[in-house]
Amino acid sequence: MTTIRAILVDDEELARTLLREYLADYLHVEIVAECANGFDAVKNITELKPDLVFLDIQMPKLSGFEVLDLIPHDLAVVFVTAYDQYALQAFNVHAVDYLLKPFTKERFAEAMKLVRERLDRRNPQVLDELVRSVRQREKPLQRVLIRNGSQVHVFPVDQIEYVEAQDDYAAFVVKGKKYLKQQRLSEIEEQLDNTRFVRIHRSYLLNLDHLARIELYAKDSRMAILKDGTQLHVSRSGYEKLKAHL
């Protein structure tokens, strides 16, 4: 049987110990890392590329759902948590399984059977759907998480000056520096507070707190001037939206 490389993510040592004990019966499963917080989880998952992750939901710094938003989607995820209010959400977005603490060895065996079935058919689209569903539930966003290699950047939304569309990516501009995230601008627009962020152009989503003024650039063409001097094109429809907010 092909070896399954697994990572355990839980801020409780006792919870990781129980997972370790149950997994000892599965000789084809190799635990390649254990993580006590979301940042370590993102780092290890990105670098070690496991097949399977046991993921707690309620953790300090980064939640399990936030971790999921930052990692590759070609793996199997089993949620492990004591918070059953998340159960329906997890199942609705097709997680491999959901283990509610405390769980028995028999219940764990059921989860492992589902893990094998999921890995046999490797379907990244399932986790894509999961992430999209979670994003819809967590709006308006209060902070944005962006992964750069194994490093995670966390920005409160008020630090974002504007967001620029770049094909299937979006560039979040913070203090003049761009951070890329694989997400469409239209989806980000839905997540952010529409009283603060305005789509001024098909390529730009502007934080009104960073707007200094609007200037006429040419006939029926305008430019948004940010407080740091950055200039962004404003479309006709974008200008109408701006007028409604200013």
Give tens-digit pLDDT for 222-239.
999 999 999 999 999 999
Candidates 2.60.40.10, 2.40.50.1020, 1.10.3720.10, 3.40.50.10420; CATH matching 143-245: 2.40.50.1020
Instruction: State how far the Cα of 105 lies from the Cα of 21, in Å rounded to an integer.
Output: 10
> What pTM, to 2 d.p., does this model score?
0.79
Structure tokens at 237: 């429809």
**Helical (H) or strand (E) element with 163:** strand 160-166
Query: Amino acid identity of 205?
Result: L
**Helix (H/G/I), strand (E/B), else coil: 139:** coil
Task: Give CA angle at 56 (135, 74), nearest 5°.
Answer: 60
Tell me which residue of 38, 123, 160 sits closest to 46, measured CA to CA.
Answer: 38
Under a CB-based contact definition with an 8 Å cutoff, are residues 221 and 214 in contact?
no
Task: Express each pLDDT in 69-114 by its tens digit.
Answer: 898 878 888 988 887 666 555 555 556 778 888 899 999 999 999 8
Domains 4-136 and 143-245 share a fold: no
Tell me which residue of 51, 138, 39 sits closest to 86, measured CA to CA.
Answer: 138
Instruction: State how far the Cα of 178 lies from the Cα of 200, in Å rounded to an integer.
Output: 18
**Helix (H/G/I), strand (E/B), else coil: 102:** coil
Structure tokens at 6: 């697994």
Tell me which residue of 41, 39, 3, 42 sits closest to 23, measured CA to CA.
Answer: 3
Instruction: Tell me which of 22 and 142 has the higher pLDDT.
Output: 22
**Helix (H/G/I), strand (E/B), else coil: 59:** coil
Work out the widest C-alpha separation in the chain, in whole angstroms: 73
For residue 204, list its beta bridge partners: 164, 201
Under a CB-based contact definition with an 8 Å cutoff, are residues 28 and 45 in contact?
no
Task: Express each pLDDT in 127-184 by its tens digit.
Answer: 666 666 666 666 678 899 998 887 899 999 999 999 999 988 999 999 999 999 988 9
Fold held by 4-136: Rossmann fold (3.40.50)
| Rg from Cα positions in the chain | 21
Give the start-to-end residue ranges of the domains of the chain. 4-136, 143-245
Helix ranges restricted to H, 146-207? 185-191
**Helical (H) or strand (E) element with 81:** strand 76-81
Question: What pLDDT is attached to residue 135?
Answer: 61
